[in-house]
């Protein structure tokens, strides 16, 4: 194959082109105003750019809410390179900064953020959870956030959005007209950065990032009447709460059920689960989700956790298109990932140790593979390439893989 041109991570961000600004406002406000978006601003009086804006990440509508929240100012945005796919010119010219997900020690990204704040004098926006929320609850955040804030020495604002996940859960890509709100809070001001430790900075960020969309829905009595509101829920609730069998769950319409023991649950219009026979163990969906995390952690602790499957692999070296790499094998243990196959320029032997991954990006029902099947994927990146990896024989595995990555990292850190 001819030598592949990689995505240019060295290219500096630019201020948004003036002629794109009214388009961004029109696209954003036409959605947020009709959805009744309310922005609750706390400690924001007198704050002007540049500052660092950290946003929760639930669905595509996040970008429209963010545009509304910072009005009349514009910003630069850290965006994963799959967001640049076939539209790099547009993303570059609205101020986007390219990033590969879950790549630690990304010095170039830090330099780009620093340049945006110091030279462009812009609000610089990050979605530090790195991908859409899987369960409408706070994802793990990198410890490096606090270190970055400490070195940059700019104010920090958190935009915690509500209703976005309910609009379009990542495992059910409908589009529900749920009312929206957001809390926009300056959590660190310019005068106190020098006096705060990295640990204190991280604690403030983590506190400001707490959310639970299912609780928000129930507490605010938000009705979702979508007749397919439960479809896809088995992608994240993959282990039966009754018989404990894994990967035997299925869902459709307003119900989720176990194919092994037959137990069924109905999801009501307020997001709660109700067993159709016997006890309802987890009416609050995130509680079921977290029980699976605990089960996976126990397997890691007692040495019974192991994943291996034949996979199909695609590469995204730049923003032009995915490149098919064909078949390979993926193994994951408490020590990390091992991916083998054929790369663009020779054999593929990618190893990602547990210490290098505090979490991992996953996709549900992602793009068409070469055999025409829509499939779940797990995504591993280096600084030069991103690999989309599709298990071929084992179904509904990616949520558990993410649990295993996060819990293995925690166990390693606790040693």
Sequence spans of domains, the chain: 18-219, 233-283, 307-414
Cα 58 to Cα 166: distance, rounded to the nearest angstrom = 9
Q: What is the pLDDT of residue 307?
A: 98
- Transcribe 146-213 into DSSP letters: HHHHHHH---EEEEEEESHHHHS-TTS--------EEEEEEEE-TTTGGGS-HHHHHHHHHHHT--BH
> Does an H or E element contain 90, and which?
helix 88-93
Class of domain 307-414: mainly beta
Domain 18-219: CATH architecture, name and number where available: 3-Layer(aba) Sandwich (3.40)
Q: What is the pLDDT of residue 173?
A: 84
Cα 332 to Cα 351: distance, rounded to the nearest angstrom = 10
Number of alpha carbons in the 13 Å side-chain half-sphere of residue 291: 16
- Which of 288, 284, 163, 287 is CA-nearest to residue 216? 163
Share of the chain above pLDDT 90, in %: 89
Read off the pTM.
0.95
pLDDT (mean) for 350-363: 96
Q: Taking all residues of the chain, what is their mean pLDDT, rounded to a whole number?
A: 94
Q: Tokens 């780009």 identify what position?
A: 112
Spell out the residues 6+ positions from residue 409 whose beta carbon is closer than 8 angstroms to its own. 354, 355, 357, 358, 359
- Residue bearing the bigger pLDDT, 271 or 106: 271
SS3 at position 92: helix
Number of C-beta neighbours around residue 221 at 10 A? 8
- Give per-residue pLDDT as tens, 137-169: 999 999 999 999 999 999 999 999 999 999 999
């Amino acid at each position: 194959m001819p030598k592949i041109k990689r995505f240019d991570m060295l290219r500096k961000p630019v201020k948004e082109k003036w002629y794109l600004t009214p388009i961004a406002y029109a696209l954003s406000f036409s959605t947020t105003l009709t959805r009744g978006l309310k922005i609750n601003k706390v400690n924001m009086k007198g704050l002007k750019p540049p500052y660092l804006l950290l946003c929760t990440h639930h669905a595509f509508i996040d970008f429209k809410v963010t545009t509304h929240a910072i009005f009349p100012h514009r910003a630069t945005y850290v965006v994963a390179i799959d967001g640049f796919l076939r539209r790099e010119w547009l993303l570059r010219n609205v101020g986007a900064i390219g990033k590969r997900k879950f790549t630690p020690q990304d010095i170039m990204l830090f330099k780009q953020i620093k340049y945006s704040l110091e030279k462009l004098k812009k609000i610089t926006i990050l979605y530090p959870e790195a991908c859409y929320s899987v369960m409408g609850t706070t994802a793990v955040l990198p410890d490096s956030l606090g270190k970055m804030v400490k070195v940059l020495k700019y104010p920090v604002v958190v935009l915690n959005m509500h209703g976005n996940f309910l609009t379009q859960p990542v495992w059910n890509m409908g589009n529900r007209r749920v009312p929206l709100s957001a809390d926009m809070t300056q959590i660190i001001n310019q005068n106190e950065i020098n006096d705060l430790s990295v640990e204190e900075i991280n604690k403030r960020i983590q506190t400001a990032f707490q959310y639970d969309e299912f609780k928000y829905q129930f507490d605010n009595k938000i009705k979702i009447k979508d007749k397919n509101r439960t479809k896809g829920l088995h992608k994240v609730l993959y282990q039966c709460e009754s018989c404990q069998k894994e990967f035997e769950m299925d869902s459709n319409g307003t119900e989720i059920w176990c194919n092994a023991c037959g137990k069924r649950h109905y999801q009501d219009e307020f997001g709660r689960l109700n067993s159709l026979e016997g006890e309802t163990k987890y009416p609050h969906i995130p509680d079921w989700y977290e029980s699976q995390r605990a089960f996976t952690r126990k397997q890691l602790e007692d040495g019974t956790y192991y994943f291996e499957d034949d996979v199909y692999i695609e590469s995204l070296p730049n923003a032009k298109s995915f490149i098919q790499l064909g078949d390979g094998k993926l193994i994951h243990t408490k020590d990390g990932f091992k991916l083998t196959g054929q790369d663009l320029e020779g054999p593929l032997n990618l190893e990602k140790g547990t210490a290098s991954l505090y979490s991992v990006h996953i996709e549900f029902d992602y793009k068409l593979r070469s055999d025409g099947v829509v499939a779940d994927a797990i995504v591993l990146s280096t600084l030069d390439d991103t690999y989309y990896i599709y298990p071929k024989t084992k179904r509904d595995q990616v949520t558990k893989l993410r649990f295993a990555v996060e819990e293995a990292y925690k166990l390693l850190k606790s040693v």
